[in-house]
Amino acid sequence: MKPIGYFDIQNEDDFNEKVLNCNNPVLVGFYAPWCESCRVTMPKLEKVVEENDGKIRLAKVNIDDKALQDLAIKYNFKSVPVTAVIKDGKLRSQLVGKQELENVRQFVQSTLNE
């Protein structure tokens, strides 16, 4: 069972509702199931969201899903994994590639301190 702060995005309308219209900042993990770096990075995103206890949520976007490929194009993401922060409906910052836990912590903390 996933914690309340996590959700898998199903389509672009779902993204608009759960990410762009969210009152809290959202950490968005753009990934592909075949991507080894994604499999290493995603649990780190989950851990940092858990550590921040409701201050930030996590949305997972599988770019291999045809219903979600336009999101990667819209945000001009050309590779995975991409870890992005969307706050107040706008892309605030992003990390590209496999991330260490401490990098993700600092990335999220800088967003929460804005």
Crossing angle for the helix pair 101-112 and 36-51, to the nearest 10 degrees:
50
Q: Which of 19, 35, 48, 61 is catalytic?
A: 35
What separation, in Å, do the N-terminal and C-terminal C-alpha atoms of the chain show?
A: 31
Dihedral-angle region of residue 25 (phi above 0 means left; psi in -120 to 50 means alpha; beta otherwise): beta
HEC sequence for 70-102: HHHHHCCCCCCCEEEEEECCEEEEEEECCCCHH
Q: Decide if 22 is catalytic.
A: no
Q: Which of 9, 26, 27, 38 is catalytic?
A: 38
Query: Using CA of residue 96, residue 102, residue 108, residue 113, what is the dihedral sign?
Result: negative
Q: Which two tokens stand for residue 75?
A: 């945000």
State the catalytic residues.
35, 38
